Amino acid sequence: MNSWSSYSDQALVDAYRQNQEEAIFNEIYLRYGHLVYGLCLKQFKSEDQAKEAQMEIFEKVLLTIPKGPIQNFKAWLYTLSRNHCISQFRKEKKQKIFLYSESELEHFSSFFMETDRLSRLYTKEALWDQVNNELDNLNDLQKEAIRLFFYEKKSYQAISVQMDCSLKKVKSLLQNGKRNLKSAMIQYLKTQEE
């Protein structure tokens, strides 16, 4: 009987691909089960969902390893786990539920300086629709300045030239526009919580 704990990840994966011994798979699970669970818990924010996802991911591992060589198991498992979580979110999206990640909130935060409410569950489409609705409600100069700065990534100087106004005026338009958007979006989020 082998002591699989002394084997490298690559040796374990290769050995499992050759003979599908339960002891080898158990060693793989011992090494990585907690990491997959942690990734899933971070994504789902629910222990039950994380445990379910962890089981589904290791079922995929069990079936996939024998099919062909895997060069960097740790990276492969991370990608498999991340893709599984994304797939689950896509299924939930069909039910109009979406959990924003930090990177997706990054764009929103520049508009209304992050609130805790934004990390809750909302439909992606509804938030974007609302941002665009509120953007349309701004005065024309504020709307144009925000569009140029946030959507077209233009500098204050470039906006100043394009809009034919001073840098001070551009900064004022952006500051007031962001404040108005933030206020409107907070109002919207409050009504969604009720």
- On whether the 4-95 domain is CATH 1.10.1740.10, my answer is yes
pTM for the model stands at 0.48
**The pair of three-digit structure tokens given for residue 99, joined into one six-digit string:** 């959990």
What is the model's pLDDT at position 32?
A: 92
CATH number among 3.40.50.300, 1.10.10.60, 1.10.10.10, 3.20.20.70, domain 102-193: 1.10.10.10
| CB-CB contact of 124 with 94 (8 Å) | no
Q: What mean pLDDT is predicted for residues 31-60?
A: 91
Q: What mean pLDDT is predicted for residues 102-122?
A: 43
Cα–Cα distances in Å, from 68 out to 63, 75, 87, 180?
10, 16, 23, 56
